[in-house]
Amino acid sequence: ALAHPIRVEIIKILLKKGECISGDLAESFDKAHSTISEHLKILKDANLILGAIDGPKRCYCVNPEALKEMKRLINLLIFDPECCKPSAKAK
């Protein structure tokens, strides 16, 4: 879900602002609102962001539990020397 730079930027914006209305997010990009909505859907489907409907508006924020898990996995990849050794099964 974070393989696309727009989705990474959406996460950055949400981390900075705390929460944001989808229309306001879309205005941060030089893309159609439908394009940003699709990126939001991908992030939400991956459980990286949470969304709530407030009347006609959709408000999004980063899922803190998903962020903790991402941080744990990245730290595992970076700091655990056993993590990336080939397993016996791979041979």
Place of tokens 């970076």: 78
**37, pLDDT greater than 60:** yes
Segment 19-25 mean pLDDT:
90
pLDDT at 40: 94
pLDDT at 62: 96
**91, pLDDT greater than 70:** no
Q: How many residues does the chain have?
A: 91
**90, pLDDT greater than 80:** no
For residue 51, the cross-strand partners are 60
* Separation CA 77–CA 64 (nearest Å): 20
The CA distances from residue 59 to 14, 64, 76, 80, in Å, are 10, 15, 32, 37
- Residue 44 parent element (H or E): helix 33-45
pLDDT category of residue 56 using cuts at 50, 70 and 90 = confident
Q: What is the pTM of this model?
A: 0.80
